[in-house]
Structure 1
Amino acid sequence: MRILGEHAYVLHARPWRETSLLVEVLAAEQGRLGLVARGVRGPKRQALRAALQPMQHVRFDAVLRGELAHLNAAEALDAAPRLQGEAMLSALYANELVLRLAPRQDPQPELYATYGELRARLGAGEPLAWTLRRFERDLLDAIGVGLDYAHEGDGGPLDPAARYRLDPGQGPVRMHGERAGERGRSATGRALLALAADTPPPVEDLGGLRRVLREVLEAHLGGRPLASWQLLGELGRVAATPQGRDSS
């Protein structure tokens, strides 16, 4: 099948053989797609290599053969955000999430739009913790496993003052008589209601949101943790900072 003029975001690229790349993209119409880019590592193909960097927005032509498509041409549609430090790690984390959770060759227009919003927010320097929580929420919605963050599993409204954990299948579950250590695995009802309303919660609630959403993501990842989680943990960037600059 020929693919012409398809728009996509580059998620990952790695060397293959001597002069080629294996590239993963999130395409507007094709969903997540693997591309074989042959002969792009030579000195005369710098523009093409630059267009195949992570987070780059591209237009490409390819021929789909089985699981992979063979790239014929690609051009950058704009300049990818210049990210450094925690923003760059946040992009790495988001790309890995999409690679792990989005099925190949399954059109995901909502996820494509969600990724574009994330890219714009990272490029604009918006607070990382809240930016990533919104992306996690919208990613889960886009792949069909989203939750209702405004109501308890039985349908009742959340109590802003109560604490909740997130069940991957049921949604918010109120915690009664917290045992030692369980507070670290919960979020306030106030934080979950803010997430549902797409309104930034108080800074002190961001850490709880990260933890409960991570448990949901872990369930859908099938017990295989992300490499970026390990990297972020080693760098001491797992916990939210007072400024809400949380990379995972």
Structure 2
Amino acid sequence: MRVEQQPAFILHARAYRETSLLLECLTRDHGRVGLVARGVRRERTRTPRALLQPLTPLQLGWSGRGELATLTQIDAAGSGFDLHGEALLCALYLNELVLRLTPRQDAHPALFADYMETLARIARGEPQAWTLRRFERDLLAHLGYALVLDAEGDDGAPIVPDQDYCYRHEHGPAPWRDTRDGIRVRGSALLALKQDKIPARADLAALRRLMRALIAAHLDGGELRAWRMLGAVAVRDQDASGES
């Protein structure tokens, strides 16, 4: 199989053999793909090394079948996202999240569009914690794990904003009781995530705990390295008043 001019981002790159790189890329029409960039670590190479890094919109070409194909073309498709500090950590978190949760060669064009838009939101300085929660919600939905946010999981009763709920993986929300397991979250937080409206500060903190627990469940209880780096980024966003 030969692919040309495919919109893509590099999620991760690591050394491969003596002179090559192994690239994990998110592409628009082919999902996550593994590519071998042969010979690019030589002193003299025709491949522009500045493009072989995350956060740069690319046009890629490759050939081959199976889990690893060979990179045959790489061109810039726009200016890279020049992020620093906490904004850069948020972008690297997106990359690790996509890398860990998505299978190879499972196309999700809408996920690619959401990924690009989330990078743009981070670059524009939009509230970081809320931006990440929105992407986590949409990523799980694209992968077939959409959250139940406006009704109880057992009987479909509408979510009440001022009531506490227990959100359980694979079951959804249920009224909170001290004996229940799961993550405690207010109905107002669930509805804010459903309606795409930035929640109050306390609700945003609860949504962070909820999304981490759900993502960890899909990682079989594992963790993401970026979670440790993002410890200081948690809940500093503005209250919901005046926001949409």
TM-score normalised according to structure 1 size: 0.88
Q: Measured at CA, do residues 2 and 109 of structure 1 come closer, stay the same or move farther in structure 2, by a change above 3 Å?
A: same
**Superposed displacement of residue 223, structure 1:** 1.5
Q: Distance in 2 between matches of 1:64 and 1:211?
A: 41
1:28 counterpart residue number: 28
Q: Distance in 2 between matches of 1:46 and 1:128?
A: 38
Q: Deviations over 1:12-69 (max 9, x none)?
A: 1112223211111111111100010012123444862222211221101110232111
Q: Measured at CA, do residues 50 and 166 of structure 1 come closer, stay the same or move farther in structure 2, by a change above 3 Å?
A: farther
Q: Distance in 2 between matches of 1:40 and 1:90?
A: 28
2:219 counterpart residue number: 221
2:11 counterpart residue number: 11
Letter in 1 for 2:163: A
Residue 65 of structure 1 aligns to a residue whose secondary structure is: coil
Q: Distance in 1 between matches of 2:105 and 2:86?
A: 31
Q: Distance in 2 between matches of 1:243 and 1:44?
A: 50
Count of residue pairs the alignment pairs up? 238
Residue 213 of structure 1 aligns to a residue whose secondary structure is: helix
- Aligned positions of 1:226-241 closer than 5 A: 226-232=224-230, 236-237=231-232, 239-241=234-236
Is the CA contact 1:147–1:170 (under 8 Å) kept in the aligned structure 2?
Answer: no
Q: Deviations over 1:199-237 (max 9, x none)?
A: 1111232110100111111111112211212333xxx42
* Uncovered stretches (5+) of structure 1, i.e. residues with no partner: none
**Superposed displacement of residue 125, structure 1:** 1.3
- The percentage of aligned residue pairs carrying the same residue is 48
2:168 counterpart residue number: 167
| 1:84 matched to 2:84 | yes
Q: Distance in 2 between matches of 1:8 and 1:239?
A: 29
1:2 counterpart residue number: 2
Letter in 2 for 1:162: Q
Is the CA contact 2:129–2:234 (under 8 Å) kept in the aligned structure 1?
Answer: no
Residue 66 of structure 1 aligns to a residue whose secondary structure is: coil
* Uncovered stretches (5+) of structure 2, i.e. residues with no partner: 240-244
Q: Distance in 1 between matches of 2:167 and 2:61?
A: 42
**RMSD (Å) for aligned C-alpha atoms:** 2.1
Letter in 1 for 2:9: Y
Q: Distance in 2 between matches of 1:40 and 1:243?
A: 45
TM-score normalised according to structure 2 size: 0.90
Residue 194 of structure 2 aligns to a residue whose secondary structure is: helix
Letter in 2 for 1:237: A
Partner of residue 196 from structure 1, selected from 194, 198, 220:
194
Misfit runs of 4+, over 4 Å: 43-47
